[in-house]
Each structure stands twice: as C-alpha cells, then as structure tokens.
Structure 1
Amino acid sequence: MARGPKLKALALLPAVALAVTLAGCGSGSGTSAGGVPLVKSGELTTCTHLPYQPFQVKEGDKIVGFDVDLVDLVATKLAVKQSIVDIAFENIESGEAMNSGQCDLAAAGMTITDKRKAKFDFSEPYFEATQALLVKKGSPIRDLSNVAGKKVGVQSATTGADYATANAKGAEIVTFDDLALLEQAVKNGTVDAGVNDNGVLYDFIKTNPDTEVSVEFKTNEFYGIGVKAGSTQLLTTINDVLKASATDGSYAKIYEKWFGKAPVWQPGAAK
C-alpha cells in the first residue's frame, strides 16, 4: 500500500473523530486517562494509507473500515478519541511515521514481517490474510504459471509486490501507488492481472462483477498494528484489547460488519 509522499488533509469526523495531522506536526506529547504516553493528549493518533477498502476507506466526510472500528476499541480503552492521518505507506512501512511522532500507531492492513519488525514494534496479529490474483472475468490467467509476456500490477511497498516479483516469471511488473489504481488497471485492461491481499480484492469484485479473483496463493500472512519501538505501555494495551475482543464477541461483530461472514480466525488463535 502506498500512494506517494504527499499527505492528504482530511475533515474532522463526528463519529470517528478524524483529525488532520500533517508531517512533522506530531512533536507534542500527552497521555491517556490510563497514563499511556500519546502524541497528543486526548487523542489516539492512527496513521494509515487510503484507500484500502474495507480496512480503511473514505466515505463522505468520514473514514470507516475494519481497522478503524478495531482501533476504536483501543481508543475507548484509553478513554480518548481516535484521530486518523492519511500518509504515504512508505512512511508507515519504514517506521518513520511512528518514530518521528506523527502518530501513536499504524493500522493499515499491514503484514507483520521481519523486515518491518526491525524498524518498529508490532502488536499480536489481528487479521489472517494471504495474497490473491485479480483478473478480468473469464481471463485465461488462472495463476502465475502463464503470465510470461503479460503485465502484472502490484502496489508499491507491499508483500504482494514482493510475491509477484519473485513468482511472476517473465511478466512485466507494473507498480501502482495505491490499491484503487491497481484494481482499476485490471478492470480497464491496462494490466492483465494484479496481486494484492485477498480481503481487499474480494471486496472489490463485489461491486465489479466484470472482475474475479482467480486464485489465492496461501502466503499465510497476518496483519499487525505498528507502534514506535519501545512503546511498551501502548503495545500492552493494544494486545489486551485484541485478546478481549476475541472473547467478548466484539471482534466477530466487527468482522461480520465488514466481511459479511463470521471469522474463521480470531486474535489469540494459533497461526
């Protein structure tokens, strides 16, 4: 996930309390009601990258989605409001957004990897994902075995891009700054296929029946919430909330809201 370095100003949300925070403005400090250090008093500032439906997407003047609802549980635990910053995914994946104080955490449909863990800390997993292939309906491309000479789209700085680069032998890899551009390129035939996470691609084909997911690659990935290295109190709170959400039914409720079915996997379950 990455659209580029330019930040996008967003309007204040009445329900999710979306706050505009530009790069370099996170130099203040505060605490939550529970004493957890925060970038700004009274707010839990989340960095994400739009669009990544159904995890984060702008709907009118609001940002909504699975990740938004899940982080709202953390904000409620801390007795603060969640504010959301739309930022280039490269600045999240590099750890810069958290380490420079632009946000308290990153929730961006982000796969836990060793490379990323070297730059910032991750919560326990909160979502099971895998890579998948998006194609035009009826396309002869059913997997990556016959893409030589074809164009395969990927989203920059993602594990999907890494997977396609390693496995789409003989294909021309075309990189897009964000998910929406990748999906539209497949839809309009600019590329022959696209690789990204299964959750977002299945969401796309619901409203774009001229496209389909031809295969999943079973990469066994898990999303995590990122925080600045050493943010022990915040990380403990996030993990406690994730664990509680699985036992009190709130995780399943949020999952069903955004995916229309009960979750097969929940936080705390075996990987």
Structure 2
Amino acid sequence: MTRASKTPRLRAPAPTRSVRTSTAPRRLPLLAAVLALVAVVATGCVRFPAEESPPPTATADPLVLPGVQTDVPIEPPPSSEACNATQTLRPPAEMPEPARMPPGSTMAEIFERGRLIVGLDIGSNLFSFRDPISGDIEGFDVDIAHAIAEAIFGDPQRVEFQVLSSAERVDALRDHTVDVVIKTMSITCDRLDDISFSAPYYVASQRILAFRNSDIRGPAQLAGKRVCAARGATSIGRMQSIQPKVEMVTTSTWADCLVLMQQGQVDAVTSDDAILAGLAAQDPWVQVVGPSLGEEFYGVGIPKGEDDMVRFVNGVLEELRATGRWQEIRNRWLSILDSGYGAPQPSYRD
C-alpha cells in the first residue's frame, strides 16, 4: 500500500478520550489502595496483616462498576507460535537523528503534528498509572512511550496519552486514533491480522491473584470460582482452556478487577505477573500464586501498513537494550517481582 492511499492519519480525538481532560480520581473506594501503592514506590516494601486477621468480605452494598460482564463466552487460547508472531522487521541500518525524520515517513507526519499520540490505560499499576500526588502518568509502558517520543522529537515529553480499555486497543490503531498502543499488549497471531507489532519489549508470565488466606494455589482450585480479567485480554481464553469450569468475569480495567475482589464479588484475578504485582502492591490482603500458565510477549501496537514505524520503533528498542536503559526502566518499576526474563531478544524476518 502506498502512503498516498492510506487512511488519512489521526483525526483530532474527542476531548473526553484524552487523559489530560480527566484529572479527578476515578473512584473513592480505591483511595486506600492508591495510598498503599505510594508507600510501595517510596519504600519498596509492603507490611502485611497478621495471619489470623480475615481479609475483606463481600459488602452489603457493593459499588456498581460499569461494563462488568459475567456471561463471558468461551474464547480460544492465545497463540503466537503458529505464525511466528514475535518475528518482526529489522531496524534501519542507521537511525535518523531526532527532529530529522525522513520526508514522507510516518515519523515525519508525527513530527509535523508536534506530539506522539499513545494509547494506554491508567489502571495498570507499575506499567501505566496516574501518580496520586503529582498527577503524572507513569510506569514501565509510559517510559517506553517517552523513549519513542525522544527519538522522534529529541524531547521525551512530546506525548499525548489516550485512555483505552483492553478491548479498544486494536480499533484505535485501525481507526488511526492513536499512533501506537503501549498497553501490556500481547503479540498474537489473531491480532496480526489487523495490526502490526514491534519486537517484544517485555516477556510476562500469566499467573493468578488470590487472597492470602484462601486455598487457591493454582488453576485446579478455580473450578466453580469467579475469576476476573480485563475484557479483551489474552488471559481469558488461556484460563478457560486450562480450567474449563472457571466462571470468568470481565471488566473494563484491571483496577476494576481489584475492586470486585475487594468487595468479595470475585475469588481471584488472572493476568500477567507484572500486572498482578501492580495490583498486589495496592492491597496487602492479596498475593500472586501458582505456576506460570503461559508466556506473554508484549509489543508496541502499530497500524497495519506502517512498516517504517515498525522499523523505527524496533530501532528505539535496540538502543534501549544496548545502552542498558531497558534494565534501568525495569529496575525502576518492576523490582517488586522476584524474578524476570531480562530484555527480550528480537527475531527479525528480513
């Protein structure tokens, strides 16, 4: 497809979709959880309650959350191996200097606009969340976004964030509402039918979040239990395939899953270990349990056909790995995890 035949790029988004227009906290019941996260960031540790103390139980008047779905259909488990999904395009032999993007390129269009528009959410603590004190959006994914903006503009702050649910990510790229999506987005064969991906920038492992005093230690104990996941996440299909008797509940955000768990409306949450670690950092009553249920390779989502942008982002990721900045980003946000895969190594198909 020639650049002239592409869908016109980036119509101005509706103001309500911009993070900048939504500065108030989303819901008061999470205030204590947010303050707990602040303590973790500041001290690097969490004080857990005594063993004999009971966890929160179901509330008489639970908070009604929008978008909760209980009749979740069976989904296929995610697949990345059948199509070699993690293989990607090689970076350019020489990366362009910041503020000197190749004429006619996707990056030049972004530069002319003056900002990189990034789709993410603010409910994935440690990856993308709003700091309750400064109001800034921070996290692992946010730092990746700043690195791409710095490579284009020479200024890492030239970023506009658009809040997306997990289910909205692919549509936002197809509609050119955003330039890229950086939102703990797993690279799968199904998604490659609609969008493109960078090389993996993080490898996660799907696990389970449960109450500390529960008997849940793995998927075997989830038969007949209600388990939450964000709508559109690959963890849904994998959990249904591993434990067919599970009762999945879906919400718009991972933060909503934690609220449902705190209210006693679900028994557990399943997602990638890094996302679950962010939830556990907010609530000392819960913990990440069980073995790995499968690996997830996070990639930067890019509109299909923008191969120049794929190569450019892969060049940014190469630089982050080579200079040690990737490890610095991981150490800053994910030191709460007791293990890690390190920076994933790319596999190029050309």
Shorter-chain TM-score bucket reads 0.7 to 0.9
* Residues 11-39 of structure 1: per-residue CA shift (max 9 Å, x gap): 289xxxxxxxxxxxxxxxxxx63134245
Superposition pairs for residues 109-124 of structure 1, below 5 Å? 109-124=184-199
Residues 1:89 and 2:163 aligned together: no
Residues 1:34 and 2:101 aligned together: yes
Cα distance change on mapping 1:233 and 1:219 into 2, 3 Å: same
Question: Relative to total residues, which structure has the larger strand share, 1 or 2?
Answer: 1
Residues 1:59 and 2:144 aligned together: no
Find 1:45's aligned residue among 117, 137, 149: 117
CA distance in 2, matches of 1:267, 1:11: 32
CA distance in 2, matches of 1:91, 1:204: 22
Superposition pairs for residues 115-154 of structure 1, below 5 Å? 115-154=190-229
Name the residue aligned to 2:33.
Answer: none
C-alpha contact (below 8 Å) 1:152/1:193 kept by paired residues: yes
CA distance in 2, matches of 1:58, 1:99: 26
How far did 1:43 drift?
1.1
Find 1:241's aligned residue among 296, 316, 330: 316
**Structure showing greater relative contact order (alpha-carbon pairs closer than 8 Å, 6 or more residues apart):** 2
- Report the residue type matching 1:46 in the other structure: V
CA distance in 2, matches of 1:269, 1:237: 14
Cα distance change on mapping 1:129 and 1:72 into 2, 3 Å: same
How far did 1:104 drift?
0.8
Q: Secondary structure at the match of 1:163?
A: helix
* Residues 184-203 of structure 1: per-residue CA shift (max 9 Å, x gap): 22233211111111101112
How far did 1:146 drift?
2.5
C-alpha contact (below 8 Å) 1:135/1:187 kept by paired residues: no
Cα distance change on mapping 1:9 and 1:46 into 2, 3 Å: closer
Name the residue aligned to 2:300.
Answer: 225
Name the residue aligned to 1:253.
Answer: 328
Residues 1:268 and 2:277 aligned together: no
**Residue segments in structure 1 that go unaligned for 5+ positions in a row:** 1-5, 14-31
Name the residue aligned to 1:163.
Answer: 238
C-alpha contact (below 8 Å) 1:121/1:230 kept by paired residues: yes
Find 2:19's aligned residue among 10, 31, 35: 10
C-alpha contact (below 8 Å) 1:55/1:68 kept by paired residues: yes
How far did 1:256 drift?
0.6
Relative to the length of structure 2, the TM-score reads 0.65
* Residues 202-234 of structure 1: per-residue CA shift (max 9 Å, x gap): 122233111111113241211000111111221
How far did 1:269 drift?
6.0
- Report the residue type matching 2:101 in the other structure: G
Cα distance change on mapping 1:197 and 1:242 into 2, 3 Å: same
CA distance in 2, matches of 1:56, 1:67: 6
For the aligned residue pairs, the C-alpha RMSD in angstroms reads: 2.4
How far did 1:263 drift?
5.3
Residues 1:69 and 2:143 aligned together: yes
Find 1:103's aligned residue among 174, 178, 192: 178
Cα distance change on mapping 1:168 and 1:179 into 2, 3 Å: same
C-alpha contact (below 8 Å) 1:8/1:86 kept by paired residues: yes
* Residues 15-68 of structure 1: per-residue CA shift (max 9 Å, x gap): xxxxxxxxxxxxxxxxx6313424561211111123111111122432111111
Relative to the length of structure 1, the TM-score reads 0.83
Cα distance change on mapping 1:269 and 1:227 into 2, 3 Å: closer
The percent identity for this pair of structures is: 23
Q: Secondary structure at the match of 1:131?
A: strand
